[in-house]
Amino acid sequence: MRLKRKDILAIEELTKDEIELILSTAESFKEVSEREIKKVPTLRGRTIINLFYEPSTRTRTSFEIAAKRMSADAINISTSSSSVVKGETLKDTARNLEAMNPDCIVLRHPSSGAPEMLARLVRCSVINAGDGSHEHPSQALLDLLTVKERFGRIAGLKIAIAGDIAHSRVARSNIHGFAKLGAEVSIAGPPTMMPSEIEKMGCKMFYKVEDAIRDAHVIMVLRIQLERQKTGLFPTAREYSKLFALDSKKLEHAAKDVVILHPGPINRGIEISSDVADGKYSLILEQVKNGVAVRMALFYLLMGGSRE
């Protein structure tokens, strides 16, 4: 089975059925990573290019591992060691990569909309691995998979997302994803970190983390994105931490069976305390594990099998 679309650019444009297909396909791929020989021949002869204009540990590594576990040829391009440093534009880079006939380009870029532009320029599939403050669809899919595995469902769950909402592509993708699958999403953070359009996305908005996490099944803590802040949106990290960091004291306001997610990388002691990040409610490393399965599913549904 394949998706009817060429690219994965945003959760906002995926249907509920498409999201559910990706999650069930990812579930079926999880066992490949448990095998002694972690490889299937499904994408033999396919070429996948990871083109990253921003640093990444989890996303880039798991896209590469996913490609290799499916027997595709995976090529990593880090812009710091490519002709981008000589001034080559994304358009020229795209045309040159296209000339080598890849089957898929995975793009991370600091500008919102860059993957959409790339998708219009090339015949192969494009997967958005995070574009500016816009979306990070594969992150939201792995988050959905992690929550679905824990609770057996998404519909009816209460999800609290806390932190730097305004700069977070993870928040945007997750708000769309959880809402499409029937969850109720609350957000919490300082007023300076709340985007103006957020209420139109159907979220409940809180300025106190304690209020947002009450009754939540899932708390997703966001990274403070210092690299995307043009002006200081909070006075000091210490003050932010006191008011908004998820620590064991604030966690007392949450349900006893709550689970905690964080997309990584973690600023320990700023948005989350170490005892909570590493504690019994944390599914952070489960998220990372599920990242490989979700990315295998995306490659399979874009390039494997026969098109529906």
As measured in angstroms, the least distance from the Cβ of 264 to ligand CP is 5
Please give the residue ranges that form the binding site for ligand CP (CB under 6 A): 56-59, 130, 139, 263-265
Count CB neighbours of 126 within 10 A: 25
Shortest reach from residue 263's CB to ligand CP, in Å = 4
Q: Tell me which H or E stretch contains 289.
A: helix 284-303
Q: For residues 47 and 225, which CB has a smaller minimum distance to ligand CP in the complex?
A: 225
| Cα 211 from Cα 208, distance rounded (Å) | 5
CB 148 within 8 A of CB 167: no
Please state the closest distance from residue 302 (CB atom) to ligand CP, in A.
20
Q: How far is the CB of 17 from ligand CP (least distance, A)?
A: 26
- Name the token pair of 233: 């949106």
Neighbouring C-beta atoms of residue 12, cutoff 10 Å: 15
Q: Which uninterrupted H or E stretch holds 277? A: helix 274-277
CB of 37 to ligand CP, least distance (A): 27
DSSP 164-217: --TT-HHHHHHHHHHHHTT-EEEEE--GGGS-GGGGGGT-EEES-HHHHHTT-S
Determine the residue with CB nearest ligand CP: 59
Question: Which CB, 59 or 282, lies closer to ligand CP?
Answer: 59
- Please say which residue, 23 or 184, places its beta carbon nearer to ligand CP: 23
> In the complex, what is the shortest distance from the CB of residue 168 to ligand CP, in angstroms, rounded to a whole number?
11
Q: Which is nearer to ligand CP, 227 or 252 (CB)?
A: 227
Q: Which is nearer to ligand CP, 43 or 106 (CB)?
A: 106
Phi, psi of 118 (to 5 degrees): -60, -40
Q: Is 100 exposed, middle or buried (0-12, 13-18, 19+ CB in 10 A)?
A: exposed
- In the bound complex, what is the minimum distance in angstroms from residue 138's beta carbon to ligand CP? 9
- Cβ neighbours of residue 141 closer than 8 Å, sequence gap 6 or more: 11, 19, 22, 23, 26, 177, 294, 297, 298
Closer to ligand CP by Cβ: residue 163 or 304: 163
Residue 50's closest CA among 73, 18, 32?
A: 73
CB nearer to ligand CP: pick between 182 and 265: 265
